[in-house]
Structure 1
Amino acid sequence: MPQEIAPTLQFSHQPQPSVIVAGSWLVHALSPQATMHDISAQLNQAATRPELHWDLSQVTTLDHIGAQMLWRAWGRQRPKYVSIQPAHEGLFARLEAVSKILVPGPPKPRLTRTMQLGAKMLGLIQHLYSFTALLGQLMLDLFRFVRHPMKAPWKELSANVYHTGAQALGITALVGILIGVVLSYLSAQQLRTFGGDLYIVNILGMSIIRELGPMLAAILVAGRSGSAITAQLGVMRVTEELDAMRVMGIPHGFRLIMPKVLALAIAMPLLVIWTDIMALAGGMISAQALLGMSPEFFIYKLPEAVPLINFWIGLSKGVTFGILIALIACHYGLRIEPNTESLGRGTTSSVVVAITVVIIADAIYAIVFSKAGY
């Protein structure tokens, strides 16, 4: 086998400025560090002179690595003046074809603030349209439920009541007791200063039964049960279970959406009552420890301090909040795309939007019933 000639790169000025590439441009011939350093320096120098003529007729052997080095020195395109042996033409033809494929397209124009606002408004309109369609389908399913109660999904309904209501009793009780203790402690400090110890019953009763009880229960349910509903529907979307149900003729609304909405509409008022009781119990414990007020006196003064209409307002809030949380969770669950990234993003959006809507609904209740129950 003839001995391979080392790769060389020579500059010439006769008859015109040119670069003579010679020798064996194979990977093992170029791999020595000294050779690679010298060749790279010469290629970088030649790359700054576009008027040079490239003469590759004296290259004995050439592989993809050597051709790639020359191609990069040429700026990933053929020079204006180049002489290549026919045997090596195929390597540069492939590099030229690949370069055309990998050339990035023109950058996308950046959205202006007006365009971003318009995109967000279009997204909001799309959400409202889908939510309205979901609400209309729920009305049709409820009408079917009333007409044919024997065909209703009673097992799904009872299972959802258990998961969203019974299994949430522990966390709502804990949070309710702690909120009652904190609110009673802070109120007692101020009331003791002005000698109004008895008014702690009014403060605790009105704030817990009318506002804090429904709000605490709704926020906990939105974070616990709302996210679970969205994740459940999202996983069914990812695993194509929803498509399988549609193929089998099983309606999503009647079998999945309606039981969840009814379950939360039933469970939320019960959780509100449970949270009120636990919060008032925590307030009684704190009032007895700080003010010496007996639990019997606290319970005796409570009906007098808090009119009954506040209790019914709290229950109506529970029903409203439960329906809103279920609808929003189902809405985002059905919009999840069949990939895990969309599942996480949809679950997070569901919880955030549900809590925001609950606070807005509570503000509307406060305005509508501003003159009732005082």
Structure 2
Amino acid sequence: MRSVTSPTLRISQSSPATVTISGDWTVHALTDGHCLHNLHAELLSCQQRSDPIWDLCGVNALDHTGAQVLWHAWQCRRPAQLRVHANHQGIFERLEQVSQRPLPKPPKQRLNSIMQLGMVMLGFFSHARDLLTLLGQLIFDLGRFLRHPLRGPWKELSANLYRMGAQALGITALVGILIGIVLSYLSAQQLRTFGGDLFIVNILGMSIIRELGPMLAAILVAGRSGSAITAQLGVMRVTEELDAMRVMGIPHGFRLIMPKVLALALAMPLLVIWTDVMALIGGMISAQALLGMTPEFFVYKLPEAVPLLNYWIGLGKGVTFGILIALIACHFGLRIEPNTESLGRGTTGSVVIAITVVIIADAVFAIIFSKVGY
């Protein structure tokens, strides 16, 4: 087997200058050490000379990699004075033909808007199908859990309750107090103008207990717990933990999906009550500062201003919002592909879709119970 000869380049000082190329100009010879870097520097110096003579008759071996190095040094055109061996002539002829060939134009896309609308609709139906499949599996898992409660995932359920419920008390309390203060302050400014100071209890009670409390808690939980659920399932997909569970015969729905849905369905009504209480406390603080209304009077007037049915509507919203957020988060988590880009995109989509669905569900509640609780 013939040994590889290092590629060399010599430049004569005659006029016109002669660039003599010799050795093996192949991928193996060019990638040996810093050979290619040194040749690039010498080829750049050759470009500064006017119409040199290129002598390639001393080249022992030439492949497409070596020919490409020389072709780019010639600025993608054959030099006027070129001496090359007949065996290597065909490579430069092919390079010349390819460089003269025009680039293909991208095909014109007709009905682009209609095609995009169709893709959106297909994506929507794909998500709806997978979500219905997930809901059906959840119903079967709940039936299995009710038949054999002692074999249920109690540890997973308690852990999810702690993470989604107890650890969310701080942020929901802070946002609830601030919203109550802001709403009470704005309402007091208008009511004081018309002498209707006492109606601030009605405004705060109805708006917070029936609408703002469940909505605030749901949005915070969707951004906090919903994204965590999607990220957790997505990381399990990336690290192939879900595949390992399937190989071991551990069902995803019974051990992963159902505990999260049940935990959020139980935690959300409690968080709604907690958010309502904190928002009303913030409203009482602002009402006392602006209108001189004592907290005792506020608490005394609250049951009269807000019928009891509104509390149950708020709790029903909490349960519904919790189930929707958990299902959407699990749905997007299971659709994560095994790469980091899909993980970020899926987590973002989970939060956005969950908040949108919560707002739509709240509008449906408002329409259904429009004549109830007033």
Which interval holds the TM-score relative to the shorter structure?
Answer: 0.7 to 0.9
**Partner of 1:327 in structure 2?**
327
Match of 2:224 in 1: 224
Distance of 1:201 and 1:28 partners within structure 2: 85
How far did 1:73 drift? 8.5
SS of corresponding position for 1:250:
coil
CA RMSD of superposed structures (Å): 3.4
Distance 1:266 1:7 in 2: 88
Aligned twin of 1:233: 233
1:302 corresponds to: 302
**CA distance in structure 2 between the aligned counterparts of 1:356 and 1:29, rounded to whole angstroms:** 58
- Partners of 1:77 and 1:243 lie apart in 2 by 55
Shift of 1:38: 2.6
Q: Judge conservation of contact 1:56–1:85 (CA < 8 Å) in 2.
A: no
Match of 1:124 in 2: 124
Q: How does 1:108-147 map to 2 (within 5 A)?
A: 110=109, 112-147=112-147
SS at match of 1:31: helix
- Shift, 1:37, TM fit: 1.6
- The equivalent of 2:49 in structure 1 is 38
Alignment of 1:162-177 (within 5 A): 162-177=162-177
Relative to 1, partners in 2 of residues 1:313 and 1:60: Cα closer, same or farther, differing over 3 Å? same
Q: Which amino acid aligns with 1:352?
A: V
Confirm or deny: 8 A CA contact 2:67 2:92 kept in the other structure. no
Q: Per the alignment, do residues 191 and 31 of structure 1 end up closer, same or farther by CA in structure 2, a change over 3 Å counting?
A: same
Q: Percent identity?
A: 69
Compute the displacement of 1:57 (Å).
7.5
Q: In the superposition, relative to structure 1, how do residues 7 and 62 fare at CA in structure 2: closer, same or farther (>3 Å)?
A: farther
Task: Kindly indicate whether the alpha-carbon contact (under 8 Å) linking 1:22 and 1:59 is maintained by their aligned counterparts in 2.
Answer: no
Q: Using the TM superposition, give the Cα deviation of residue 7 of structure 1 relative to its aligned residue in structure 2, in angstroms.
A: 9.1
* Cα offsets for 1:143-166 (capped at 9, x unmatched): 111111111101101110110000
Question: Are residues 24 and 230 of structure 1, via their aligned partners in 2, closer, same or farther at CA, if it must alter by over 3 Å?
Answer: same
Alpha-carbon shift at residue 60 of structure 1 (Å)? 4.5
Note closer, same or farther for the CA distance 1:155–1:94 as it changes in structure 2 (3 Å cut): farther
Aligned equivalent of 1:251:
251
- Cα 1:93–1:277 change in 2 (3 A) is same
CA contact (8 A) 2:185 2:287 kept: yes
Q: Indicate the residue corresponding to 1:270 in structure 2.
A: 270
CA contact (8 A) 1:23 1:61 kept: no
Q: For structure 2, which runs of at least 5 residues remain unmatched after alignment?
A: 1-8, 23-37
Q: 1:33 to 1:143 in 2, by over 3 A?
A: closer
Counterpart-to-counterpart distance in 1, 2:54 and 2:290 = 97
CA–CA distance in structure 2, aligned partners of residues 29 and 307 of structure 1:
85
Shift in Å at residue 85 of structure 1?
Answer: 1.0
Q: Which amino acid aligns with 1:199?
A: F
AA matched with 1:203 = I
Q: Distance in 2 between matches of 1:366 and 1:29?
A: 73
Distance in 2 separating the partners of 1:36 and 1:66: 17
1:6 counterpart residue number:
12
**Preserved contact between residue 56 and residue 83 of structure 2 (Cα < 8 Å):** no
Which residue in 2 is equivalent to 1:24?
20
Alpha-carbon distance between aligned partners in 1 of 2:59 and 2:145, rounded to the nearest angstrom: 82
Deviation at 1:4, TM superposition (A): 5.5
- Residue 16 of structure 1 aligns with which residue? none
Render the CA deviation track for 1:110-148: whole Å, top value 9, x for unaligned. 471111111111111100110010001001101111111
Asked if the contact 1:237/1:338 (under 8 Å) is kept, the reply is: yes
The letter of the residue matching 1:6 is: S
5+ long unaligned stretches in structure 1? 11-20, 44-54
Whole-angstrom distance in 2 between the partners of 1:338 and 1:292:
59
TM-score, normalising length: structure 2: 0.82
The 1-side partners of 2:40 and 2:321 are apart by 76
Does the CA-based 8 Å contact 2:47-2:73 persist in structure 1?
no
Cα-to-partner distance string for 1:330-358 (whole Å, 9 max, x where unaligned): 00000000011110110000000000000
Cα distance in 1 for residues equivalent to 2:84 and 2:56: 9
Match of 2:28 in 1: none
- Once residues 84 and 278 of structure 2 are traced to their aligned partners in structure 1, the CA distance between those partners, rounded to angstroms, is 88
Do the aligned residues in 2 keep the contact of 1:8 with 1:23 (CA within 8 Å)?
no
The Cα shift of 1:107 comes to: 3.8
Distance apart, 1:248 and its partner CA: 0.2
Partner of 2:355: 355
Q: Are the equivalent residues in 2 in contact too, given 1:227–1:329 (CA < 8 A)? A: yes
Deviation string 1:278-333 (CA, Å, 9 cap, x unpaired) is 00011011111111111111011000000000000000000000000000000000
Is 2:20–2:55's contact at 8 Å kept on the other side of the alignment?
no
- How many residues align? The count is 343
The code of the aligned residue for 1:225 comes to: S
Match of 1:288 in 2: 288
Q: CA 1:282/1:56 → structure 2, altered by over 3 Å: closer, same or farther?
A: closer
1:163 and 1:29 map into 2 onto residues whose CA distance is: 60
1:94 deviates by 12
Q: Counterparts of 1:160 and 1:58 in 2: how far apart (Å)?
A: 74
Corresponding residue SS for 1:370: coil
The 1-side partners of 2:41 and 2:168 are apart by: 70
Query: Letter of the aligned partner of 1:209 in structure 2?
Result: I
Q: Compared with structure 1, are the counterparts of its residues 22 and 86 closer, same or farther at alpha carbon in structure 2 (3 Å cutoff)?
A: farther
**How do 1:334-349 residues align onto structure 2 when only pairs under 5 Å count?**
334-349=334-349
Q: TM-score, normalised by structure 1?
A: 0.82
